A and B are shown apart, each in its own frame.
Chain A
Amino acid sequence: ELKVEQNPLFLSMQEGKNYTIYCNYSTTSDRLYWYRQDPGKSLESLFVLLSNGAVKQEGRLMASLDTKARLSTLHITAAVHDLSATYFCAVDQGAQKLVFGQGTRLTINP
């Protein structure tokens, strides 16, 4: 059974700082998704990583995938308050059957 674990689960940081969210998974997959969820809202797609070594960047967020280590990271550079949200990684078991991590609740303080 595929298990997806994120850490940390809660992260409080100051504006301007850098930090990384980690997503570990237990079985082989080369497709990993990152989503953002604001309170009471839907899930917004951030990145789809499709191969070992894939790296994607959008603004202050950068995601990478290491399929051999079964690890993905979401790096936040010079955080701003607008990035406060819950971030989920999800691993594709096949045919887009996603298994989600627990989510990382990120709070960015002025």
Chain B
Amino acid sequence: DAGVIQSPRHEVTEMGQEVTLRCKPISGHDYLFWYRQTMMRGLELLIYFNNNVPIDDSGMPEDRFSAKMPNASFSTLKIQPSEPRDSAVYFCASSWGASGNTIYFGEGSWLTVV
């Protein structure tokens, strides 16, 4: 299996621009998670989906962030407009079934907003 695939791997953008991060989960997985990692705040869960439906978006920092999962093999995390404090590594992860199964992480998207 190819694992969780994220794109782009690196992005540098100017403040105010729209950023779209993409994720392809492992085939057959029904849970998809978006995490953010920063030095100050560590790893934070932003939002997660089950069977393409958003279940909990309480970690989304503000209205500038949105996430979609139009089908079982694709999800996006969008930031509009972006700000320098959004600079972080954004990880997508996926898993199958109920609690207790391994959650597999993608390689991450390194975002820098200048």
Interface 9-mer from B68-76, B79-87, B94-102: B94-102
Task: Say yes or no for B65: interface residue by CB 8 A criterion.
Answer: no
Give how many A residues have a beta carbon under 8 Å from the other chain's beta carbons. Answer: 23
Give how many B residues have a beta carbon under 8 Å from the other chain's beta carbons. Answer: 24
Contact code string B14-50 (vs A, CB < 8 Å = 1, else 0): 0000000000000000010100000000111100101
Chain B positions near chain A (C-beta within 8 angstroms): 31, 33, 42-45, 48, 50, 55-56, 91, 93, 95, 98-108
A97-B45 contact given A42-B105, A42-B108, CB 8 Å threshold: yes
Chain A positions near chain B (C-beta within 8 angstroms): 31, 33, 35, 41-45, 48, 50, 88, 90, 92, 94-103
A98-B55 contact given A42-B91, A88-B43, A103-B42, CB 8 Å threshold: no
